[in-house]
Structure formats: C-alpha cells, structure tokens
C-alpha cells in the first residue's frame, strides 16, 4: 500500500522565532574565535576590576596583594600602584583620574597621574558603606557604585552598618554625599552604562539577574527592567549593545537579551571584563589568578 507523503508545517510565528534565534547565534559566532583566546599571565592571587584609558591601556587589580597593575599596548605588564587600598572596582573618568573602590576601609578614591590619592567617600549618612564593589562615572563627573557586603578577613567589623545592599550615586562635586539610586536588588555587583549614557545595567549577583535602568536628571534611576536572568560578576558592553557577563567564562547577550556567545575560560571563576587595546576591540578578561585577552570583531564602549 502506498502511503501519501506527509507534510510537516510550522506556524509562521514559530518560524520567525527560529529564524531570529538562528540569526542571533550566527551574529555571536561572528564576534570572536575561541582559538584566539590568549593567556597573558598567571602570576597573581586574584585578578579583578579592569578599566581602560583613552589610549587603550588596561589597569586591573590583584586584590589580595593590594596592587594595581597596568597592561600596555605592547603587551607589557608593570606594577602601577602598591598599597592600593585593597582596590576592587576601578574606572577611568573623563579627566583621566583612576577611580577606585578601595575595599580596605570601604572608601571611594580618585588617583591622579602622579598617584596622588583623594578620598571621595568614606561614609553614607554617617555610616560605613558595606564595601563599594564596582563603579561607573557619567559625563558630568557623577559616580554610580554598587555596595554589596562581602565579609573580609582584614576588617575588624563582622556585620554591615547599613541595612540593605544598594546602588548609589555620588553627584559631581558632592564628596561624601552619596544617595540611593536603586535598592530593589539583593546584592548588586557589576555596573556599566550604554554608550549614549541613557541606560545603566546592573548585575544583581545575589538574585542572578541583570537589570536595566533609565538614567534621569541629576543621576536618578527609574524604570527598573529585567534584562536577563543570569548570574554575573563584572559586565561590559560593545558598540552594538551586546552585553558581556563574567562568571563562568564570559557569556554574551545581544541587546534583546538573547544569548549569542560563550567565551570558555578554563579557570575557577571569571571576575570581570573590559575592552582595551589601540582600537578598543581587545576583550581583557580577569579570571582567578590569571588574565586573558581575545580579539572581538567590534569595539567596546569604554
């Protein structure tokens, strides 16, 4: 008996979704080559907090050893700063100052080209911050920073003075006058802004979520939106709006929240990422005791 040929048809909407996912994965595959991942060094105790200056030099921390290192355009490593306040997060602002989350005494610092330190924040409403972790500065000079609580063995205190773990904004010129920018988070960590300065992305590592906020006047954040359910430590963006999340290697999501790539890092933890290099298209990765780079076919926004 001859059976008629069956025809399998899919709803048009499902076909559109499959095509969208296929194109997203294709776009991710075109961003980088896993074979191009390069180990730069494994001489540190725990690397964190990469930031880039306009020339493309990278600064990063070796937090347990209380040091900040520099990685130049020729691939040379050099010690930039010792006794660095147990620096965690770093960011280079428009004036070329290195901003630091100085974890030793829970402060925010700025460091000029002569390595002169200025304390920008040491208390919030008279109380010691939990432990400023990561930060981003806007074009006006204001600073957003995350303030989770991670107990350190070099602290004398054993509990936080401030209730809750929040995102704060330090207005320009208002040293020691930080105000709450977002508090609907459990343990905020990585932070980065879109290239146009309109949106702020925050990693809530405690809730394994990435949130997106609109940035309003005077640094106010509003309209919290869930961008994606994913755990992340440090985060960064490229010029296409793709978000790079450091944790188990580096996971890449496009601007729609669709996963488009995974950079495999064979280390116990990937802490942070930053674009650097002459054309700002080298992804610099801090991971446990090591640092890596990988070329990306688009530039970062830093």
Q: Is residue 285 part of a domain?
A: yes
Give the torsion sign (CA, 170, 88, 184, 231). Answer: positive
Q: Is residue 14 part of a domain?
A: no
Parent domain of 107: 22-295
Q: Is residue 17 part of a domain?
A: no
Which CATH number fits the domain that encloses residue 155?
A: 2.120.10.30
Unique residue bearing structure tokens 């008279």: 126
Number of domains within the chain: 1
Question: Per residue of the chain (302 residues), what is the pLDDT tens digit?
Answer: 454 554 555 565 554 444 444 455 545 568 999 999 999 999 999 999 999 999 999 999 999 999 999 999 999 999 999 999 999 999 999 999 999 999 999 999 999 989 999 999 999 999 999 999 999 999 999 999 999 999 999 999 999 999 999 999 999 987 779 999 999 999 999 999 999 999 999 999 999 999 999 999 888 999 999 999 999 999 999 999 999 999 999 999 999 999 999 999 999 999 999 999 999 999 999 999 999 999 999 999 86
DSSP for 117-179? EEEEES-BTTB--S----EEE-TTS-EEEEE-----TT-S-SS-SSSS-EEEEE-TT-TT--E
Q: Is residue 291 part of a domain?
A: yes
Q: Contact 106/122 with Cβ under 8 angstroms? A: yes
Q: Is residue 5 part of a domain?
A: no
Q: Report residue 154 as tokens.
A: 């070099």
Q: Is residue 140 part of a domain?
A: yes
CA 188 vs CA 6, 37, 59, 168, 202: distances in Å:
53, 29, 22, 10, 7
Q: Is residue 68 part of a domain?
A: yes
Q: Is residue 15 part of a domain?
A: no
| Three-class secondary structure assignment of 179-229 | EEEECCCCCEEEEEECCCCCEEEEEECCCCEEEEEEECHHHCEEEEEEEEC
């Amino acid at each position: 008996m001859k059976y008629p040929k069956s025809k399998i048809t899919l709803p048009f909407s499902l076909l559109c979704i499959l095509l969208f996912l296929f194109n997203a994965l294709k776009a991710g595959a075109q961003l980088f080559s896993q074979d191009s991942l390069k180990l730069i060094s494994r001489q540190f105790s725990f690397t964190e907090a990469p930031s880039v200056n306009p020339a493309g030099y990278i600064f990063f921390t070796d937090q347990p050893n209380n040091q900040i290192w520099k990685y130049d355009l020729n691939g040379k490593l050099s010690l930039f700063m010792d006794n660095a306040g147990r620096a965690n997060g770093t960011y280079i602002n428009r004036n070329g100052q290195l901003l630091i989350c100085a974890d030793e005494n829970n402060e925010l610092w700025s460091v000029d080209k002569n390595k002169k330190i200025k304390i920008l924040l040491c208390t919030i409403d008279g109380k010691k911050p939990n432990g400023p972790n990561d930060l981003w500065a806007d074009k006006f000079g204001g600073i957003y920073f995350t303030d989770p609580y991670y107990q350190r063995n070099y602290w004398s205190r054993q509990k936080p003075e401030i209730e809750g773990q929040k995102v704060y904004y330090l207005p320009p010129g208002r040293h020691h006058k930080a105000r709450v920018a977002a508090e609907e988070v459990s343990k905020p960590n990585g932070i980065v802004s879109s290239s146009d300065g309109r949106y702020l992305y925050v990693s809530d590592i405690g809730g394994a979520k990435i949130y997106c906020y609109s940035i309003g006047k005077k640094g106010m954040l509003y309209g919290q939106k869930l961008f994606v359910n994913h755990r992340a430590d440090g985060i960064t963006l490229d010029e296409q709006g793709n978000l790079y999340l450091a944790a188990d290697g580096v996971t890449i999501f496009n601007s729609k929240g669709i996963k488009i790539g995974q950079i495999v890092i064979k280390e116990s933890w990937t802490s942070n990422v930053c674009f650097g290099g002459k054309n700002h298209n080298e992804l610099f990765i801090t991971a446990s005791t090591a640092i890596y780079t990988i070329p990306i076919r688009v530039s970062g926004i830093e």
